[in-house]
């Protein structure tokens, strides 16, 4: 039987481990953290990500964890709403916010019900094992080693497996970081959960109700060099949010959480694999936060990876695993997935550049704000059309195993 090690139990690692285990392949899933309660995990599942989970047969799983559909997308310029676009924007399902920690825990629990699955939590990988320039396993921080026919690095944008395999990451110029705040949600926002993007006074930020009940999220874009220390966040936000939220922001000012700084890294590995090792998700292609593509593209990576890996790993009887066949499959996975990643990053960069234009040039912002009743519907139609690839996926992805 083939043996696979997956490093990292995020969305890519946990779902791929489940798919392989369900197909009768021995899988060891290794996660450095003891639980999934990180301070920040993205929540936005676009129709493309929801479709990937549907193809994996996980629709019912979503119903058991905190989740919340978005109602609409709103854009505000200088205290005037430019437009509102109601979900699902022509798709079958709306963008849905899902609490990642219980999702990941449920995926691992399902995988644990499969024979041949091994779960190592609170266990860090220190290095890769090599034999004749081929990755053949991992060395753990406690000194133990585990051998495998294939190692999969799904350990995020700071991937240790990528570093140990000497697979370079080509990054785009760094333009922003994000400060992430949480605060009590106002009455009514939960029922009408719009993703509200605000551009005013040279600032850009977004507001939306998270998957967990009663919690508003605020994502504040800053330059990488900008300091985060400030004593008057409540008044800062109150001066910029849409008029209907001003009183609420001031009333809950003491309950605004201290900001968590998220360093934005965007890039791609020219090569996602080497003999015996494959990178997936953020380990291979960290994404911009624009339109929540990271988790969605990672899930689509998993579908394609399973299609190519199961046939070469599910070996009948006592037949030996063919390393050449495995390595050939790794190349096919990258070849199939890379075009969508490249185009998605280009679309993200294009949308971010429009936001930066509005942020930097007050006359453009003021003109659109003043003319919003007339130009808003046209801008809305253009924006909705441009969102389709990022929402629905750029290439066809279908689970075949």
Domain ranges of the chain: 3-172+265-392, 177-263
Residue 53: Cβ-neighbour burial (10 angstroms; 0-12, 13-18, 19+): buried
Note down pLDDT in tens along the chain; length 401 residues. 789 999 999 999 999 999 999 999 999 999 999 888 765 677 899 999 999 999 999 999 988 999 999 999 999 999 999 999 999 999 999 999 999 999 999 999 999 999 999 999 999 999 999 999 999 999 999 999 999 999 999 999 999 999 999 999 999 988 789 999 999 999 888 889 999 999 998 899 999 998 988 999 999 999 888 877 777 899 999 999 999 999 999 999 999 999 998 889 999 999 999 999 999 999 999 999 988 899 999 999 999 999 999 999 998 776 789 999 999 999 999 999 999 999 999 999 999 898 889 988 999 999 999 999 999 999 999 999 999 999 999 999 999 99
Specify the CATH architecture of the domain 3-172+265-392.
3-Layer(bba) Sandwich (3.50)
CB atoms within 10 A of CB 177: 18
Give the pLDDT score at 292: 85
Residue 368: which of 85, 86, 80, 84 has the closest Cα? Answer: 80
CB atoms within 10 A of CB 3: 18
Give the pLDDT score at 320: 84
**Within a 13 Å sphere around the CA of 233, how many CA atoms are in the beta-carbon half?**
19
* HEC secondary structure over 337-351: HHHHHHHHHHHHHHH
Residue 234: which of 221, 248, 244 has the closest Cα? Answer: 248
| pTM for this model (two decimals) | 0.95
Q: Per the omega criterion (within 30 degrees of 0), is the bond before 88 cis? A: yes
Residue 293: which of 334, 343, 218 has the closest Cα? Answer: 343
Give the pLDDT score at 278: 98
Give the pLDDT score at 110: 97
Spatial distance between the Cα atoms of 365 and 369, rounded to a whole number of angstroms: 6
Helix, strand, or coil here: 45?
strand
Spatial distance between the Cα atoms of 77 and 359, rounded to a whole number of angstroms: 10
Give the pLDDT score at 291: 87
Q: What is the DSSP letter of 235?
A: H
> CB of 16 within 8 A of CB of 108?
no
- Residue indicated by tokens 């999934």: 36
The two counts, helices (H) then strands (E), for the chain are 11, 21
Residue 279: which of 8, 3, 2 has the closest Cα? Answer: 8
Give the pLDDT score at 329: 98
> CB of 8 within 8 A of CB of 154?
yes
Give the pLDDT score at 301: 98
Helix, strand, or coil here: 171?
strand
Q: Are strands 260-263 and 267-268 parallel, antiparallel or unpaired?
A: unpaired
Residue 131 has which token pair? 């034999």
Q: Measured between alpha carbons, how far apart are the two ends of the chain, in Å?
A: 17
């Amino acid at each position: 039987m083939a043996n696979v090690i997956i490093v990292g139990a995020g969305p890519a690692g946990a779902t791929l481990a489940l798919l392989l285990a369900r197909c009768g392949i021995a899988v060891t899933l290794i996660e450095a953290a003891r639980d999934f309660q990180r301070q920040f995990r993205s929540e936005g599942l676009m129709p493309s990500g929801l479709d990937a989970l549907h193809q994996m047969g996980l629709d019912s799983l979503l119903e058991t964890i905190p989740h919340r559909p978005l109602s609409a997308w709103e854009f505000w310029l200088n205290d005037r709403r430019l437009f509102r676009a109601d979900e699902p924007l022509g798709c079958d399902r709306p963008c849905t916010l899902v609490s990642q920690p219980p999702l990941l825990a449920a995926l691992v629990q399902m995988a644990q019900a499969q024979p041949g699955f091994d779960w190592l939590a609170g266990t860090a990988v220190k290095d890769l094992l090599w034999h004749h320039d081929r990755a053949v396993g991992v060395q753990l921080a406690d000194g133990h080693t585990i051998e495998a026919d294939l190692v999969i690095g799904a350990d995020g944008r700071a991937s240790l497996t990528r570093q140990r395999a000497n697979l370079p990451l080509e990054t785009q110029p760094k333009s922003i970081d994000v400060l992430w705040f949480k605060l009590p949600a106002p009455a009514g926002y939960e029922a009408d959960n719009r993703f509200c993007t605000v551009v005013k006074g040279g600032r850009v930020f977004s507001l939306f109700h998270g998957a967990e009940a009663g919690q508003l999220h605020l994502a504040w874009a800053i330059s990488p060099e900008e300091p985060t220390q400030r004593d008057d966040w409540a008044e800062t936000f109150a001066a910029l949010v849409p008029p209907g939220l001003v009183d609420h922001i001031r009333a809950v000012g003491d309950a605004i959480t201290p900001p968590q700084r998220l360093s934005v890294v965007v890039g791609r590995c020219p090569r996602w694999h080497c003999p015996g090792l494959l990178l997936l998700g953020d380990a291979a292609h960290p994404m911009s936060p624009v339109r929540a593509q990271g988790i969605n593209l990672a899930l689509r990576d998993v579908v394609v990876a399973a299609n190519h890996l199961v046939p070469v790993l599910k070996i009948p009887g006592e037949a030996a695993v063919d390393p050449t066949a495995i390595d050939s499959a790794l190349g096919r996975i990258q070849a199939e997935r890379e075009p969508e990643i490249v185009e998605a990053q280009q679309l993200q960069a294009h949308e971010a550049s429009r936001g930066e234009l509005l942020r930097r040039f007050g006359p453009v912002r003021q003109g659109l704000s003043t003319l919003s009743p007339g130009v808003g519907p046209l801008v809305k139609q253009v924006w909705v059309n441009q969102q389709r690839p990022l929402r629905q996926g750029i290439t066809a992805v279908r689970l075949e195993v």
